[in-house]
Amino acid sequence: MPVRILALVGSLRAGSHNRQLAEAAAKHAPEGSTVDIAEGLAELPFYNEDLDVEGSVPAAAVRLRETAAQADAFLLFSPEYNGTMPAVLKNAIDWLSRPYGAGALTGKPVAVVGTAFGQYGGVWAQDDARKAAGVAGGAVLADVKLSIPGSVTRFAETHPADDAEVVTSLTEVLRQVAEAAPTAA
């Protein structure tokens, strides 16, 4: 059975380079693993414990939790907004952190990668996403990193899936995530 990696993309923009990076991950998943991109993050209401009540959890949150429960590992793609991760990614992490101690992230490998326009490729945002995912129960792979700077120019005419350097680095990240998944043991 293949290792199922769920990608959460922290950008909702139609032409998002992080979305394209997730598409590249799905296209170049190593043998024995698959990468699915979580859809519908824009429909998630902001996490509110008053909404997170059995029988009335918003449909978008139920779908995300069900999809995440099927995953063996997670790969988060984060751009950098004002020096940190986007609210959409933090909100998805918040929904997946519940119920406390038994959320869909609990105990599963999580790696964070991404691309941003700045010279450091979004490292602050990615560090914040690692912290949030770890607090939420994920088994963060702290040494599995990929930060691609200059996204606006680098990917202006080239999809990340067609950038040989990116594909090589991303494939290595995916290999490490897949190897850390419990089903790979």
Q: pLDDT for 4-27, tens place per residue? A: 999 999 999 999 999 999 999 999
Q: What is the mean pLDDT of residues 122-146?
A: 97
pLDDT confidence bin for 101, thresholds 50/70/90: confident
- 3-184 classified as CATH 3.40.50.150: no
Say if residue 184's pLDDT is above 60: no
Residues 6+ apart with CB under 8 A from 80: 114, 116, 118, 122, 123, 124, 125, 126
For the segment 65-90, the average pLDDT, to the nearest whole number, is 97
| Residues facing residue 5 across a β-bridge | 35, 73
pLDDT band at 151 (very low <50, low <70, confident <90, very high): very high
Q: Which two tokens stand for residue 14?
A: 């139609």
Query: What pLDDT score was predicted for residue 148?
Result: 96
| Contacts for 124 with CB less than 8 Å, ≥ 6 apart | 80, 83, 84
Q: Could you state, in order of their start, the residue ranges of all structural domains in the chain?
A: 3-184
The whole-number pLDDT of residue 1 equals 86
Q: Are 144 and 175 in contact (CB under 8 A)?
A: no
Amino acid at 176: Q
CB 125 within 8 A of CB 81: yes
Q: Which of 19-23, 140-144, 179-183 has the lowest mean pLDDT?
A: 179-183
Query: Is residue 185 pLDDT above 70, yes or no?
Result: no
Q: Which residue has the tokens 């979580």?
A: 38
pLDDT of 90 higher than 90: yes
Q: How far is CA 101 from the centre of its chain?
A: 20
Kindly state the percentage of the chain with pLDDT values over 90. 94
- pLDDT for 155-167, tens place per residue? 999 999 999 999 9
Assess whether pLDDT exceeds 80 at residue 82. yes
Q: What is the mean pLDDT of the chain?
A: 95
